Structure 1
Amino acid sequence: MNDSAIRHVEFGAGTPIVLIHGYTLDHRVLLPLEPAFADRPGWRRLYPDLPGHGTSPRLPGRTSATALADALFAWLDAELGGRPFAVVGQSFGGQLARAVTARYGEQVLGSALLVPVVRWGADRTLPEAPGVTAAEDGDELLGGLPAEDRVLFGAVMARHTRGSLDLFERYVLPGWRAHDRTAAAELEADFLLPHWPEHRAPRPHPGRHLLLTTRQDALVGWRDQLALLDHYPRMAATVLDGAGHNPQVECAETVRGVFGSWLDDLAGGSGPR
């Protein structure tokens, strides 16, 4: 595997920060975080598209969580070498970000985990009734969407409003429509890394870490993620109310506030440089 297996876009210059999207989407789902960097210079933001997502071709072999992690590690080695960097991961990308921290150790300045995958399938602890926090007339609002897109909207967004739909169409749908369906089916069948990354790390990571979850997340929940606090002695945790599985899209300003505080914590410690 080489760096050509993963395409990416980047902005800015300085200390690298790698932002990893979730399953069946692409880097655009994390772009609502960009305004947090407007008054925080010194960060080189790299947004990869995982293999089989966005503009990146699928892997030549079978797609699995382990195969995607290995492809990401190869890309990081080629792109960053031994430079210190920070990592952000959303959903499935959160699982990969945890693996990155475990593998690269103190080369990683810290991580921000947004609704990260921790458990999957029947092992997940999901809200009994995540609910919709705001709604407009469903037929009128979603009538123009294909059935598959309507299902996705209902699964990942807690606010069923025109504003929420506009954000969904801008940041979520493009990646959803671009992903490789065959690779996604393979990944769904082999979705978790064989071990929690934290269990493979030689010691708890000393960097600054952020965990952000939401009460209305119908895909990964929020309770399972709290177990991560035991593995990161300097991890701050926020549980938001009123958002679903894409909080950085659905309540971007609130998330950027929390995310910006994490960036400031990193800057007050060992980066940017």
Structure 2
Amino acid sequence: MILVHGFRGDHHGLEGLARDLALTLPGTRMIVPDLPGFGETPAIPGRAHDIELYGEWLSAFAAEAAPQGFALLGHSFGSLVVGAALASGLAPSRLVLVNPISAPALQGPQALMSRLALGYYRAAEMLPERPARALLGNPAIVRVMSEVMAKTGDPELRSWIHGQHAAYFSTFSDPSTLLQAFRASVSHTVPEFAHAFTMPTLLIAGERDDITPLFRQLELRHRVPGSRLRIIPGTGHLVHYEAVSDAAACIGDFLTAEARSATSGAAA
């Protein structure tokens, strides 16, 4: 199973989910790559880091890392990367989208915040490297982002989440690539690619997600025939941090049930 992380994250963000899934699905190999320009994967020289580039990269990665077949999971921005790859022909056996981006960021109630964030990344790109990184990695700004996204009332878990964001939210290659990736994240939605979701599909949404309202996830569910939607109460956009066990259980049940169904169909 290949798991694709969200914007400004790297493989650490999905580490807990991958670990729980490995326990839930013994014998299944979990692969969590860093997207180009994040974590340990360098930016791709001479290319705009738009959604097409990320989808192309994922297709090439999957062909090399799992040539015998794979299930695919995308979280947040990773759901857009997955969608772009599927629209270009990538064909996983099963699909899981966690907190998919199902609403346009530059329209609706989140439009103002998205435009302010775009201005923030543009301003950083105009600065020399050192002050740009200082701005983008400013502990106070990162903490505010973390506070807004975290919904748990557990002080220990909140503290851990803030620590994860402080440690890994600024592992990007350079400010220009980060701006390009942000533009990609706010310029597309998963429903654009829904026509390509022909494989068994599971959608997992946080009840209190500020980035994509729940009704938009319900609309996506209706646009993908045969898909399933699991809503996790009390969580927001950080299902992969706040509800790891619940998400892993949902995914494990989904993959196991689909495997049984495929086996029964083959036997018939």
Q: TM-score range by the shorter chain?
A: 0.7 to 0.9
Task: Give CA-to-partner distance per residue, 1:60-110, whole Å, 9 cap, x none.
Answer: 1222122211122222223333x22110000010122233344446x4211
State yes or no: 1:165 paired with 2:175.
Answer: no
2 CA distance for matches of 1:232 and 1:190? 23
Number of equivalenced pairs: 231
Root-mean-square deviation (CA, aligned residues, Å) is 2.5
Cα 1:252–1:26, aligned 2, differ >3 Å: closer, same or farther? same
State yes or no: 1:24 paired with 2:18.
Answer: no
2 CA distance for matches of 1:231 and 1:167? 36
8 Å Cα contact 2:103/2:213 also seen in 1: no
8 Å Cα contact 2:143/2:166 also seen in 1: no
Which residue number in structure 2 is paired with residue 179 of structure 1? 172
Task: Give CA-to-partner distance per residue, 1:147-202, whole Å, 9 cap, x none.
Answer: 12211212221125422234314544433121233212122223335981224x3x
What amino acid sits opposite 2:177 in the alignment? A
State yes or no: 1:111 paired with 2:95.
Answer: yes
State yes or no: 1:235 paired with 2:231.
Answer: no
- How many percent identity over aligned positions? 22
2 CA distance for matches of 1:265 and 1:173? 38
Name the SS of the counterpart of 1:223 in structure 2: helix
Alignment TM-score, normalising by the size of structure 1? 0.75
Which residue number in structure 1 is paired with residue 60 of structure 2? 74
Which residue number in structure 2 is paired with residue 254 of structure 1? 246
Which residue number in structure 2 is paired with residue 266 of structure 1? 258
Task: Give CA-to-partner distance per residue, 1:197-220, whole Å, 9 cap, x none.
Answer: 224x3xx61x32111111211223
Alignment TM-score, normalising by the size of structure 2? 0.76
5+ residue gaps, structure 1: 1-16, 127-144
Which residue number in structure 2 is paired with residue 94 of structure 1? 79
8 Å Cα contact 2:55/2:82 also seen in 1: no
Q: Which runs of 4+ in 1 moved over 4 A?
A: none
Which residue number in structure 2 is paired with residue 217 of structure 1? 209
5+ residue gaps, structure 2: 111-137, 264-268
What amino acid sits opposite 1:179 in the alignment? F
State yes or no: 1:196 paired with 2:196.
Answer: no
- In the TM superposition, residue 53 of structure 1 has moved relative to its aligned partner by 0.9
8 Å Cα contact 1:167/1:250 also seen in 2: no
Give the structure with the higher percent strand. Answer: 1
Give the structure with the higher percent helix. Answer: 2
What amino acid sits opposite 1:32 in the alignment? G
